[in-house]
Amino acid sequence: MKKKLISISLASIFIIIFFVFYKGLKNTNIYTPDVKINYDIPVFSANLFYLNEEVNSANIFKKDKFYLVNIWSSWCVPCRDEHPILMELKKNSNITVIGINYKDNKKNAQNFLNQLGNPYKKIIVDQKGTLSIEWGAFGVPETFVIYNKKIIKKYIGPLNEESLIEIEKII
């Protein structure tokens, strides 16, 4: 009796599995790891650089506003190159510059900002680098322009005068 019960339940489990697989066959599964243009920003919570408190992405990014998310690190040489551009953008009131500090030592990062100035309204700490991966970043520096909680533009590598003009055009 017990044996019969086991065999029947096993058989039905396998039948269910069969149908799930059967249905699964018809769905196409193509995952794209990189963030495309016009995609929603990832949802995350992370620590802030100065205040050491946890924030949610929902609290940082508001609707109908432009944000510029810049992934940077003190050890990254090209980040120094693009720094003046970010300082320039800081003056623009239409856009809020937010930094993601990527795999960095806090002291070095602080030195970096003291030396060159802090263009960021808020800095999110990404010690392990996982957050940047969620954003779809290849490396540092990388910059995202966000509007309405969507990524509308992405720059790989340092920003330059041209990209500054481009960004200013958008906002």
Partner 1 sequence: MIYSVTGHYSLILGLCVGLALVYFSIRNFRNSNQLDTKILAFSFLQLFFVLVSFISLIISFIISDFSNETVFNNSHTTKPLFYKISGTWGNHEGSLLLWLLVLTIFIFIFILRTNNQPIKYKILTVGFQQVIIIGFFLFLIQTSNPFNYLFPVPDEGLGLNPILQDPALAIHPPILYLGYVGSSIIFSSALAATTLKIVSTSWAIHIKKWVLISWIFLTLGILLGSIWAYYELGWGGFWFWDPVENVSLMPWLALTTLLHCILVLERKEILTSWVIILSIATFTLSMCGTFLVRSGILNSVHTFANDPERGLFILIFLFVLIFLSLFIFFFFHQTNKNNSYNFFWLSKETSILVNNWFMMYFLSVVLIGTVYPIFLDVISSQKISVGPPFYHKLIAPFLIPFLFAMAIGPSLKWIRSDLKDKIYLISLLIISILISFFIVKNFNKNVLINTILISSALYLFYITLRDFFNKKYKNFAQNTAHFGFSLLILSILFNNLFSSEIITNLRVGETYDNSKTKIVFESINQKKEKNYKSIVANFNIINSKGINNNLSPELRIYNQPNITTSEADIKTTLMKDKFIVINLVQNQDYFNVRYQVKPFMLWIWLSVILISFGGLMSFFKKRI
136 binds partner 1 (CB under 8 A): no
Among residues 65, 80, 90, 103, which is the contact residue for partner 1, using CB under 8 A? 103
Least distance between partner 1 and beta carbon 138 (Å) = 5
Among residues 2, 23, 63, 107, which is the contact residue for partner 1, using CB under 8 A? 23
Question: Residues 45, 54: contact at Cβ < 8 Å?
Answer: yes
How distant, in Å, are the alpha carbons of 10, 39, 148, 156 from that of 136?
A: 42, 11, 18, 11
| 80/149 with CB nearer partner 1 | 80
Least distance between partner 1 and beta carbon 105 (Å) = 9
Tell me the angle at which helices 106-116 and 77-91 cross, rounded to the nearest 10 degrees: 50
138 binds partner 1 (CB under 8 A): yes
30 binds partner 1 (CB under 8 A): yes
56 binds partner 1 (CB under 8 A): no
- Return d(Cα 9, Cα 145) in angstroms, integer: 54
Q: If you write DSSP's letter for every residue of 106-138 in order, what string do you get?
A: HHHHHHHHHHH----SEEEEESSSHHHHHHT--
Residues that bind partner 1 (CB under 8 A): 3, 6-7, 10-11, 14, 18, 20-31, 75-78, 103, 129, 138-141, 156-158
